[in-house]
Amino acid sequence: MSNKPEPSSGAIQQQQRKKRGLIPPELVDLLVTPVQVGAWSGAVGVMAGVAGAIARDTSPVASGAVTGFQWFALGGSFWFTRSVTVRAMGGDQQLRPVDKTIASTVGGSAAGAVAGLIRGPGKILPAMVMWGVLGAGGQMAVNGLSNRKPKVKDENDSWFRSKWSPLKKLTDQEYIDMMEEKILRVEADIALIDERITELKSIDQRTKDENRT
């Protein structure tokens, strides 16, 4: 029998915390995507800020840094707030299109609050309204595109079926009928050739008989 002491409950909890890490996995999953969205938004903002600075003949570095930070804050705050709202409403798979629109509206309003806070307290409310409307409109457009059913292509609705087309797309039965007609024509031509050959043979035989006499 082993005389090793059993670990206490406190030690077990410490080991479990070490295995899980300092930050819970759920929080990590919730933060990773918004940071990625914010990074991509910030990169676009840097390029936009540099381009605007060149057009205005100002400092590209300062303009790119400021615009990149603002766009990072907008993209990250929007996606983080939307992700929290979606999770609180049951998850993305359980949401109806109207629920997704509400989540995007909340995310847009949060991004607007951040944008207004950067520009000044007096800009918070107008920015929340504007970005909330943009978030709702963008989500409604995405919902419309995702719900659009693919158009079933009708074989009869084709350029080959148009009266202006010099070509015609045949059905299987039309192709069979056309090939049978061509076969009949070939058989008729072969029959005519056979008759001509027989006629020539008879003429040749008659000529030979006349020469013998």
**What pTM was computed for the model?**
0.56
Q: Contact 136/97 with Cβ under 8 angstroms?
A: no
Listed by start position, the domains of the chain span 19-147, 159-212
Model confidence at 1, pLDDT cuts 50, 70, 90, reads very low
* Opening angle at CA 68, ends 63 and 70, nearest 5: 100
How does DSSP assign 62-104, residue by residue?
HHHHHHHHHHHHHHHHHHHHHHHHHHHTT-GGG--HHHHHHHH
Q: Contact 115/70 with Cβ under 8 angstroms?
A: yes
pLDDT in tens, 2-58: 455 555 555 555 555 555 556 666 666 677 878 888 888 888 888 888 888 788 877
